[in-house]
Structure 1
Amino acid sequence: MKYIPLRESKKEELEAWLNKSNEILAEMKLETNPKKRRAIIHRNKSHWRNDDLLNYLKKLSDGKCWYTEARFVAEYPQLEHFRPKSCARDEDWKKCHDGYWWLAFDIENYRVSKPMPNVKKGTYFPLREPAMAVCDPDVAITRESPLFLDPVNQGDAELISFNALGQPEPCPEPAVDLCEWDKRRIEFSIKRYGLDNTELCDRRKELWVAIESMISEYATNAKRATHNDCKISKGKAEQLIIQLKKYLEPSQEFTSLISACFLSNKVGKALYPKLLTQLLAA
């Protein structure tokens, strides 16, 4: 999972879309009948399928799923409501909330997803303290503590890492030691976002093997270039650096796994900050 700066992003180009969202919200707030309110949402569902909106959100992740970091290719990206708009369910699939209807057209409640994470997440939305669930649009949702990790929360995105088998796991070196709640959130999010999907793990493993092999080849050639003054090895090492740097570009798939791969290797760990600095300076 990679951090998506949705809240900090400038949204001027979506001014017309945002104005329409405010109009729909105002209409819903005036409607006290839940069934009629749901009808308003249904009638305006094309609003969150707006192409300009989807393209804007896709750009924030360089055209990748916000949950899996897999690139959108042929399939149509799905717009997922992080807080379910119609009803929310706990870990046991029991209904625990009538839904965050006032967030149905709130851009900050949207996450762009591949079909699998969207379907697996469904209307699950357990909270650490169910009694703190927000049921009123005038109450701040920040009082809630969701069980799901959220890609628009940088601290959440950094809690998940990957191993050499391409499997998701808790971050091995968190800034603060993980508590039991953190571990529950990681385990639940991996399962309900489908991050442990076999095909995804295989693709990530293949990428890990390729990067690790390239780092090893670089180390061999760099050593020969230094100790034996070998010009051919120096040239190979320089070419490998160029290739390794491309893996760190934000547009690459599975950047979280790529970072984990570099940092798990002594040579890769030394190269990682240097290559990132070069990318930022370019």
Structure 2
Amino acid sequence: MIFIDLENNPPPQDWIDRADALTQQLIAAPTIVAKNVIIDANQALWNELKDHLSALSNQKCWYTESINAGAHCHVDHFRPKKEVVEEDGNITDGYWWLAFDWMNYRFSGPAPNVRKRSYFQVVANRALIYGDNCNIEDILFIDPIKVRDPECLAFDNEGRVKPKETVKTARNYKRADYSIRRLNLNAPSLIDQRKDKFRKASILLMQLDKKIQLQSVTWDQSRENEIEIGFRELIQMCSKNSEFSAAVKFCLKSSTYAWALEIVNAAA
């Protein structure tokens, strides 16, 4: 998962106007049943934004960083629109007033969206009715449109995602653990692909470090060219447009090579 700057990339004004009109209909609808009828009848509206949202991440799922070529990707309602399922199984009304709010959309591959469904755990300050402030909710899900949230995740050389925080009672450990489970971030296919990227980066790091050490002893232009090619390859792997770039960056940051941070910074 990497940060996605959704806020500064709104959809066309025509779409926003149509969405706002539907939201006003939802507000006026007298019952939850009536509101759900409006939502169900207008699902095509949020699907209009699928290309717009996917373009913000080079077609990568915002949760997994997988491109999911050929798969049926989704426009996920981050805060569920019709019902909310809590960890204890309790079900309450959803955030119906956000059904046509583009800031509530996340581009999702099938693995996380199918598992996520209507789960959304709020620790405190739950917004229960229209007009309540969602911005003060203390939520467990890590959100890709929040700058600091993706940094709660770490990766190992077997391709698994894990909490970066190691204290299990800490808030960020709980958020990472919940998100990994509920977004299916360790689905077998994702682990395999992430493992390949992590190992490729690890091998390239070791190869480059040997060459860099040799350069400090005897400088060689051919070797310098090889180092340049290796640096460029790692920069590309760290690029926000590349699959599993967060895992590659974590690999570089976790290495013992001080120069690896230069690559991470160059790819930013």
TM-score by length of 1: 0.89
Q: TM-score, normalised by structure 2?
A: 0.93
1:73, CA displacement in angstroms? 1.3
Matched position secondary structure for 1:239: helix
Task: Please point out which of 207, 223, 226 is paired with 1:217.
Answer: 207
Letter paired with 2:259: A
Alignment partner of 1:147 is 2:140: yes
1:140-174: per-residue Cα shift (whole Å, max 9, x none)?
1122211211111122211111111111112269x
Q: For residue 95 of structure 2, what is the aligned residue in structure 1?
A: 100
Query: Aligned Cα RMSD in Å?
Result: 1.9
Residues 1-282 of structure 1: matches in 2 within 5 Å? 1-7=1-7, 9-11=8-10, 14-50=12-48, 53-95=49-91, 97-129=92-124, 132-171=125-164, 180-267=170-257, 269-272=258-261, 274-279=262-267
| Structure 1 residues 197 and 10: alpha-carbon distance in aligned structure 2, compared to 1, 3 A threshold | closer
Name the SS for the 1:258 alignment partner: helix
SS in 1 for 2:148: helix
Paired residue type of 2:188 = T
Q: Deviations over 1:178-232 (max 9, x none)?
A: 8622222111110111111122112111111111111111111222222123333
Q: Cα distance, 1:70 vs. partner? A: 0.5
Q: Distance in 1 between matches of 2:265 and 2:182?
A: 35
CA distance in 1, matches of 2:139, 2:123: 6
Corresponding letter in the other structure for 1:71: I
Distance in 2 separating the partners of 1:228 and 1:23: 70
Q: Secondary structure at the match of 2:230?
A: helix
Q: 1:199 to 1:279 in 2, by over 3 A?
A: closer
For 2:110 and 2:244, how far apart are their aligned partners in 1? 17
Question: In 2, distance between residues paired with 1:278 and 1:257?
Answer: 16
SS at match of 1:169: strand
Q: Which structure 2 segments of 5+ residues have no match?
A: none
Closer, same or farther: CA 182–244 of 1 in aligned 2, 3 Å: closer
SS in 1 for 2:162: strand
Q: Which ranges of structure 1 fall in alignment gaps of 5 or more residues?
A: none
Q: How many residues align?
A: 268
For the 8 Å contact 2:50–2:75, the answer to whether it is kept is yes
Are residues 182 and 76 of structure 1, via their aligned partners in 2, closer, same or farther at CA, if it must alter by over 3 Å?
Answer: same
Instruction: Indicate how the Cα distance of structure 1 residues 277 and 256 shifts in structure 2: closer, same or farther if over 3 A, else same.
Output: closer
Secondary structure of the residue that 2:145 maps to in structure 1? coil
Identity of aligned residues (%): 26
